[in-house]
Amino acid sequence: MAHIDLRPLDDDDLDAVFDMMRDPDAVAMAAFTAEDPDDRAAFDAWIARQRSAQDVTTLVITEDGGFAGTAATFSVDGDREVSFWIARHSWGRAVATAALRLLVAREPTRPLFARVAAHNTASIAVLSKVGFTEVSRNVDFAPGVGREVEEIVMTLVPALDGV
């Protein structure tokens, strides 16, 4: 298996992150994405806000030293959440699972939450392997698919935290 690691996001990563987050198949799976994934100015403004926010940690996932995606922790309405986005060239090789395990090991707050489109079975499987369990569902408009989509909220609580 490849060596998976997390490192801080730097300016040299921004083109790779932008390209990854505009892949049409990935956008369709993520569903809850930017309104226009091809809008570089909007991406640059969004990533600048993320990088300057005190409660956001954005990391690059590396696979054998190369760019494989991003992982982040952030707060929404007082809850800590995790997110990950894997570049297509790293799909299907357990990169997401290894990266999420590293991410939750770095984040001391529990419970942790994650949100995922119900049709994204790969991400649901990754979250489940790391110990997240479903706590609720809701329906919301998803720009990545241009319609309402069922969203699953999952949590990692202290009793389940085996990473």
Q: Domains of the chain: which residue ranges? A: 4-160
pLDDT tens by residue, 112-143: 999 999 999 999 999 999 999 999 999 999 99
CB-based burial, 46-58: b 16+ in 10 Å, e otherwise: ebeeeeeeeeebb
Rounded to a whole number, what is the distance in angstroms from the first to the last CA of the chain? 19
Q: What is the CATH number of domain 4-160?
A: 3.40.630.30
Please compute the mean of the pLDDT values over residues 10-23 and round it to a whole number: 98
pLDDT band of residue 108 (cuts 50, 70, 90) is very high
- φ, ψ dihedrals at 115, nearest 5°: -120, 140
With a CB cutoff of 8 Å and minimum separation 6, the contacts of 39 are none
- Spatial CA neighbour of 115 closest among 156, 68, 160: 156
Q: Is the dihedral of CA 48, 152, 36, 26 positive or negative?
A: positive
**Which structure tokens are listed for 44?**
């640059």
For residue 147, pLDDT beyond 60 = yes
* pLDDT on residue 157: 80
d(CA 41, CA 74): 22
* pLDDT on residue 158: 67
Please compute the mean of the pLDDT values over residues 17-37 and round it to a whole number: 95
Its pTM surpasses 0.85: yes
